[in-house]
Structure 1
Amino acid sequence: MTAELEVAGPAEVLTDIRGGVLVITINRPEQRNAMSKSAAEAIAAALTRLDADPDLAVGILTGGTETFCAGMDLKRFQQLGERPVVDGRGFGGLVESPPAKPLIAAVEGWALGGGFEMVLAADLVVAGEGAKFGLPEVKRGLIARAGGAIRIPRVLPRAVALELLLTGEPMAAATAKHFGLVNRVTADGAALQAALELASVVAGNAPLAVRASKALADRSRLWPDGEAFTRQVEFTDPVFASQDAKEGPAAFAERRTPRWTGR
């Protein structure tokens, strides 16, 4: 079931629901999927839908089989002064406020500038072997301010992160996987299918536990070690007190598939 979001321009963003997974496809191939304001608004709307719909467990963001996203649509910026930023969500409707539910980036071809920064805002990354990731802002007298300069040093070793930021040169998918930026590398054209397989595994787990695990992993990064175990109870206690926490062990003991309720 594929449908264009009403807030987008003609087919700029498509959504496709597949077994509890919301696939969000940037669909501006003639512009190398460069981000427009309307596309950013459509992605923001899709992410809001992902978090609000209890039947959706995981999101996948992709650009199809040619290019993930070449960054901001510079022609629209020059002609109209348009910036693909959504209040409260940032560039692409994503980078400043990722969804509470897991988001997987399925990357084929180039992910440049803001496109790469959207990948960095995702939780998991699957890439075709020909995918390339780059932050070329310094080549244009700019800086990667949509999360690139902030997130890259958190994901990659400092020297590797600085090489990306200071040279503006791209990184290949195999290298990105070597350094932990990419989870899985596939044959070109197979990233979305591999992302769907990964998403189905995540979607099969208890939704409260998955969501709380993501939140705890994200927020605890800057907690002092002496406070971490005390502060985590805000996330862990509601999960252990849930109906799903009773259902999981019961299903294991009875050798059946758990029936999660999200409560």
Structure 2
Amino acid sequence: MTTTAASEVLVEADSGILTITINRPEQRNAMSLSAATAIAEALTRLDDDPELSVAILTGSSGTFCAGMDLKRFRLGERPIVEGRGFGGLVEAPPAKPLIAAVEGWALGGGFEMVLACDLVVAGSGARFGLPEVKRGLAARAGGIFRAPRVLPRAVALEMLLTGEPITAQDAQTHGLVNRVVEDGAAVGTARALAASIAANAPLAVRASKALALDSRTWTDEESFGRQSAYTDPVFASADAAEGATAFAERRAPRWQGR
């Protein structure tokens, strides 16, 4: 296990899982440029390191992220990384799976970072909101168009137009959240979920995520016609042969990622 710390973000690698923790508790983990840069670097590491399979994004001290640091915004700072967008994430999520482990508030850009993740685990007291209209702003880090994709249209519009948050329970009911757990248990549950992903063939996981996301606007006919570019390399891989062999021999597979 290795642990490194940028000034405002903690990054820990263990058993193929990279845990990224926003660590600005006095600002309720509001996003700064330095934190966004550290997150972007961690996500690049995730995709480049064959020993890493999945990442968890969370916040310290019982808060996920309160959005953009408005005090720094007033001074002209924007927590935007070129090529990655707000928080070093929203415009270019990693190719490998990313799980949000949410405790407390995920507001504004913080919620938009959640929307850029693949799976979400939330403490029962978590709250998700897009309060930009209350500050004379707009949710342009993906919230305006991603929220209506994962939430019912009426629910997403109410969040966007009133600025009022929803609960973890409502978020789960509407399909945004995979698991609602006791407060304080989000990271532990996310790690168990991440371990389930990390146990699988990395090429298959990566291709499955890519195709699931890229095909959102395709018809079924287009999807069947275009999926071979994603799935043929998986079926032709050494890992596919290993999966069948391990099943026949009743043992755990030994993935090579090729």
Same fold per TM (> 0.5)? yes
Aligned to 2:37: 41
Aligned to 2:130: 135
Partner amino acid for 2:67?
A: G
Within 5 Å, give how 1:174-253 maps onto structure 2: 174-253=169-248
CA distance in 1, matches of 2:128, 2:102: 9
Q: TM-score, normalised by structure 2?
A: 0.98
Aligned to 2:58: 62
| 3-state SS of 1:116 partner | helix
The alpha-carbon deviation at position 3 of structure 1 amounts to: 1.2
Deviation string for 1:29-68 (max 9, x for gaps)?
0000000000000000000000000000001000024110
CA distance in 2, matches of 1:65, 1:195: 17
The alpha-carbon deviation at position 2 of structure 1 amounts to: 2.0
Q: 1:87 aligns with which of 79, 82, 85?
A: 82
Deviation string for 1:135-177 (max 9, x for gaps)?
0011122211000011011101111111111111001001100
Within 5 Å, give how 1:149-164 maps onto structure 2: 149-164=144-159
Cα RMSD for the two superposed structures: 0.8
- Residue 63 and residue 110 in structure 1: after superposition, are their counterparts in 2 closer, same or farther (change >3 A)? same
Deviation string for 1:241-261 (max 9, x for gaps)?
000011111111111000000
Aligned to 2:25: 29
Deviation string for 1:202-248 (max 9, x for gaps)?
00000000000000000001112221101011001000000001111
Contact 1:15 1:22 in 2 (8 A): yes
Partner amino acid for 2:117?
A: A
Partner amino acid for 2:113?
A: M
Partner amino acid for 2:4?
A: A
The alpha-carbon deviation at position 76 of structure 1 amounts to: 1.1
Q: Which runs of 4+ in 1 moved over 6 A?
A: none
1:173 correspondence with 2:168: yes
Contact 1:108 1:130 in 2 (8 A): yes
CA distance in 1, matches of 2:136, 2:37: 27
Aligned to 1:71: 67
CA distance in 1, matches of 2:72, 2:133: 21
CA distance in 1, matches of 2:184, 2:227: 40
Aligned to 1:3: 4
Contact 1:62 1:192 in 2 (8 A): yes
**What is the aligned residue count?**
257
Q: TM-score, normalised by structure 1?
A: 0.96
Contact 2:239 2:256 in 1 (8 A): yes
Give the fraction of aligned pairs with identical amino acids, expressed as a percent.
73
Alignment gaps of 5+ in structure 2: none
CA distance in 1, matches of 2:152, 2:29: 29
Contact 1:113 1:136 in 2 (8 A): yes
Contact 2:29 2:60 in 1 (8 A): no
Partner amino acid for 1:193?
A: G
The alpha-carbon deviation at position 77 of structure 1 amounts to: 1.5
